[in-house]
Structure 1
Amino acid sequence: MDGDHTRQRVEEMQLLLERVQRDNTRIATIVIELREAAERIDELSAYYLGDDWPEDREHMRELNGMETPAVLSEDVTWRAIADNETGIRHLVYTCAHQLVNQANGKLGDLVADAVRAAD
């Protein structure tokens, strides 16, 4: 094997490792942000599907005429909730795909071995 080829491959893999390490840091941040987002969507969904939303909508119409905040628009609020669900669904599919790929490869075997060893 050519020494230049080896050096080039190692340099490329070193750069790749550094990118993966940065990705891992970002993933940890994303997990925290997703937990916070889950709390927000849960609260908005509970409000929208509960008794307060229609009461607030009617009361604001009485106070302001037809001008109401976006949160009291059925279409706007429903779209925000539906878009969140769609986004989370895409995220879950992407994560599941990655886990399956890792499980089907040697890395998956190494992880499985490590889990068995920890038990």
Structure 2
Amino acid sequence: MANLTDLISDLVAATDQMKPAAQGDDWDMVERLQKRRRVLIESIVERAAHEPITEEDAERLRAVRRHEATVAALAGTQRQALREAIAELQGEGRIDKLSRMQRAYRDSGYS
């Protein structure tokens, strides 16, 4: 079984890969990395109960938190862009629907 420092190194590596994946809009890769990170974090928590965390490892974990915040911000921006795109599409859909209804009413001779 890996020691705490090795687990933290693996977590740092996975987190470092997440940032460029998020910047490149590769959200499938981010999801896979998140699953890997979840397992690592669970192992780190388990090991930390039996093994002290060095100051160096604590600083590496703080760096991981900073990277996570960047990825979370990128994800938030992506979600907002998707919400806006969906709203725009729904708005266009309603306009098209109204136009068809207006045409049907006009063509029926009841105008």
Higher relative helix content: 1
TM range (shorter): 0.3 to 0.5
Indicate the structure whose relative CO is greater, using CA pairs within 8 Å and at least 6 residues apart. Answer: 2
What TM-score do you get using the length of structure 1 for normalisation? 0.40
What TM-score do you get using the length of structure 2 for normalisation? 0.42
